Structure 1
Amino acid sequence: MSDLSIRSLSKAFGGVRAVNEISFDIKRGEFLAMIGPNGAGKSTCFNMINGQLAADSGEIWFEGKRLTGLKPREIWRLGVGRTFQVAATFGSMTVVENVQMALISHAGESYRLWRPAASFHRERALELLDQVGMRAHADRPSRELAYGDVKRIELAIALANDPRLLLMDEPTAGMAPGERNDLIALVKRLVIERGISVLFTEHSMDVVFAFADRIIVLARGRLIADGDANSVRADPKVREVYFGTGKTFANAGAEA
């Protein structure tokens, strides 16, 4: 069963077709990586799925519901979570308050904020922080956190609406190698435990090939490969994209 179905999705900016007739599915509980060189169309594709960009043509379906044309907030309420390449939290709030704000939003309780936000959903927020290994930091100001820890808080926030699909744009950007593997291992564990489907883009090829169940490859706005790590490594079109300049997958990660 497919959680997400993308059909003939296209987007142009002026005369440049950033995404050109892309189609793919994500199965329930699948950990799917989207890779490709700079300018391949990854972020544009992501932003159309999330509703931040309107598609010129094509359709996006999630659990039988048409997402095309919906706003990001409407898509979020349908069970699609999102993390961003540059993680951000409210620095003036504590760690737990950041997660509480996401829970308040999901519950549609913003109108009740004449009471302090700290009085809403604290136990649930602490449970989410426990899942991402950050409960011990719950009452610290977010501005004091290291960047890798901010990424974990962002993940807890993304889980606040109990998503069935999680979109992660460069989840390990700006992180040290050890932190990258720890974060993706954590995400993969949560995916298995919760049955969440994940679509993620990633520069680090070691992360992609170590953790992805399946990989799709974009180049110049088109999908050129779709398969497991071994089949993608061996695909002639992918080899041309990455190896045509003398690069290997080990050092192509800086520009994928």
Structure 2
Amino acid sequence: MTVLSVKGLHKSFGGVQAVQDVNFQVAAGELLALIGPNGAGKSTCFNMLNGQLRPDTGVVTLLGRSLLGLAPRQIWRLGVGRTFQITATFNSMTVRENIQMALLSFHNGLMSFWRPANALYRDEAMALLDRVGMADQSERPCGILAYGDLKRVELAIALANQPKLLLMDEPTAGMAPTERIALMDLTAKLARQDDIAVLFTEHDMDVVFAQADRIIVLNRGRLIAEGSPDEVRANPEVQAVYLGSGAVFAGEGH
């Protein structure tokens, strides 16, 4: 089942065409990697899908419903989760409280004098933390967590709106190699269990080729390749784009 459909996506900034006629789909339970050199248009593409930028032309649908013209919060409430390259948590709050804040937002909960926020959705928060392997650290402040653990907390926050689509921008940035593998293994497991479509950008080619079901490649705003990891690895144009770094072939991550 197609969850996200993108057709004819185009965005220009002055005379610079950042994204040009991009088309792709992501199915339920599928991990699709979006890769390309710096300046390829990856972030611009992500920001249009999330409502932070409006495309000049194109169609973006979630399970057949258009997302164009909706604000990021509206898109989030429809079931689009997102993680960011730099984690954004409330450092002074506990791990559990961070998840509760996301759940409060999703359920549109209101705090009252008689029922403080930290009493709401505790069980649901703990269930999410258990899914990402962080239940045993639920009462620790986020500000003292190791970076890899923060990434797991961020994943739990992204799951709070019961996403149909998960957008992950450089999910393993700043992590040690073993942590990168563990986080993406966990993401793949959750996506397949819950039929979540996952679109992620990533510079570490080891992660991309080990985890992605399919890969799409942008260069100068244009989609130049799409296919399985083996197909993309063998594509002459992709080889030319990455020539010099060896990233596609050696997994050096640059």
Q: Distance in 1 between matches of 2:252 and 2:131?
A: 29
Give the aligned length.
Answer: 253
Equivalent pair of 1:242/1:252 in contact (CA under 8 Å): no
Residue number in structure 2 paired with 1:112: 111
Residue number in structure 2 paired with 1:247: 246
Alignment partner of 1:162 is 2:143: no
Residue number in structure 1 paired with 2:192: 192
Q: Show structure 1 runs of 4+ deviating over 6 A.
A: none
SS in 2 for 1:47: helix
After TM superposition, the structure 1 stretch with the greater mean CA deviation from structure 2, 207-216 or 111-120, is 111-120
Structure 2 residue ranges without an equivalent (≥5) = none
Cα deviation for residue 247 of structure 1 reads 2.7
Residue number in structure 2 paired with 1:61: 61
- TM-score scaled by structure 1? 0.96
SS in 2 for 1:112: coil
One-letter amino acid of the structure 2 residue matched with residue 247 of structure 1: G
Does the C-alpha gap of structure 1 residues 246 and 190 become closer, same or farther in structure 2, counting only changes over 3 Å?
Answer: closer
Equivalent pair of 1:4/1:27 in contact (CA under 8 Å): yes
Residue number in structure 1 paired with 2:152: 152
Summarize deviations over 1:58-111 as a string: whole Å, max 9, x none.
1101101000111001101111110011112101100000000000000011x3
One-letter amino acid of the structure 1 residue matched with residue 99 of structure 2: V
One-letter amino acid of the structure 1 residue matched with residue 25 of structure 2: D
Cα deviation for residue 248 of structure 1 reads 4.1
Residue number in structure 2 paired with 1:95: 95
Cα deviation for residue 28 of structure 1 reads 1.7
Q: Distance in 2 between matches of 1:246 and 1:176?
A: 20
Does the C-alpha gap of structure 1 residues 21 and 104 become closer, same or farther in structure 2, counting only changes over 3 Å?
Answer: same
Cα deviation for residue 112 of structure 1 reads 2.6
Q: Distance in 1 between matches of 2:194 and 2:70?
A: 25
- TM-score scaled by structure 2? 0.96
Cα deviation for residue 41 of structure 1 reads 0.5
One-letter amino acid of the structure 2 residue matched with residue 112 of structure 1: M
SS in 1 for 2:37: coil
One-letter amino acid of the structure 2 residue matched with residue 85 of structure 1: Q
Summarize deviations over 1:168-195 as a string: whole Å, max 9, x none.
0000001011100010001011111111
Root mean square deviation, CA, Å? 1.2
Residue number in structure 2 paired with 1:78: 78
SS in 2 for 1:161: coil
